[in-house]
Structure 1
Amino acid sequence: MEISNIPSFLDYYSKIRQRTERVIASIPTDHYNWTYHKGKFTFADQIRHIAAIERYLYAETVLGRPAAYTGCGKELADGPEQVLAFFRERHQESLAIFSSLSDEDLQQKIQTPGGGQITCWKWLRALVEHEIHHRAHLYTYLSILGVPTPPIFGLTSEQVQEQSARISNT
């Protein structure tokens, strides 16, 4: 998928973020610091990571500045309410930066933290892929805990199977 203009990217990204927000809302507040294994990201770490990478890596680099990501630890925000506030505030800051880009900016090369060059629209696509990757972790963590999660596109796979069975039986 090529991103050819800023408004369409922002619209698409808002839909991605809505799905991420829905799964985050499923996390029991008393499990924000839970992890499946010592030394691995907690739910809170995952949420802070999505926010910090978006703002301090992707948003900085599209402006031509070096990445400023320094991690996703509790020093950024601790406790469910503070973590969610951090998540939402960094997103608003990032959206302001992305909104300031022109459609022509999307075709410019930017410097990645690894020293490579990438077209801006491809970098923004990687941002979306990164968020989806970590949202999948949240779904997995919740599954391990047996916590029900919202379907990504409105129906669960079981509901799609039921509908398909009804349709094929008519």
Structure 2
Amino acid sequence: MEITSINTFLPYYDKIRERTKRLLAVVPSDSLDWAYKPGKFTIGDEIRHIATIERYMFAETVAGRPSCYRGCGKELADGYDAVMAYFDQLHEESMAIFRALSEEDLQRKCTTPGNATMPVWKWLRAMVEHEIHHRAQLYIYLNMIGVKTPPMFGLSAEEVAAYTKPE
């Protein structure tokens, strides 16, 4: 899917973020430091990572600047309220950059941290895929610690099956 209008992309991306926020709302405040294995991202790291990558890699790159992503550790925000505020703050900063993009900017080439060049619209599409990837990891993490997670689109797979009429 080619992104040809920033005015249609932004509402779409808002819906992606709304689904992520619904999931973050069920994260237990005492579980931010949980990881499935030593040395892997904690739940808090995952949340900070989504925020910092969006702001300091994707937004900077589409603005024509190099990535300034430096990680996602607790030094950026620690504690449930601080992590959620940080997540929202960086998203607002990113959205200000994205709102300034024109349709012509979407076709302009940007250079990724891996030194690949691609149209800005493709980089924005990669950003959405990145968020969805990490949101899926959070779903798994939360399920591993016994947290009931919200269905992504309103119904769980079991509810869809229950509503489906046999042939």
SS at match of 2:88: helix
Which runs of structure 2 are paired with 1:56-95 in the superposition (5 Å)?
Answer: 56-95=56-95
Q: Does 1:148 align with 2:159?
A: no
RMSD of equivalent CA atoms: 0.8
Q: Does 1:8 align with 2:3?
A: no
SS at match of 2:97: helix
Instruction: Return the offset for 1:7.
Output: 1.1
Distance 2:93 2:62 in 1: 13
In structure 2, what residue type is equivalent to 1:24?
A: L
Give deviations 1:119-156, integer Å, cap 9, x for gaps. 10000000000000000010000111121000001000
In structure 1, what residue type is equivalent to 2:147?
A: V
Q: Which residue is 1:158 aligned to?
A: 158
In structure 2, what residue type is equivalent to 1:113?
A: P
Which runs of structure 2 are paired with 1:15-164 in the superposition (5 Å)?
Answer: 15-164=15-164
Runs of 4+ in structure 1 over 3 Å off: none
Distance 1:89 1:106 in 2: 24
Unaligned runs of 5+ in 1: none
SS at match of 1:74: coil
Instruction: Return the offset for 1:168.
Output: 2.8
TM-score, normalised to structure 1's length?
A: 0.96
SS at match of 1:118: strand
SS at match of 1:104: helix
SS at match of 2:103: coil
TM-score, normalised to structure 2's length?
A: 0.98
Matched residues, number: 167
In structure 2, what residue type is equivalent to 1:157?
A: A
Unaligned runs of 5+ in 2: none
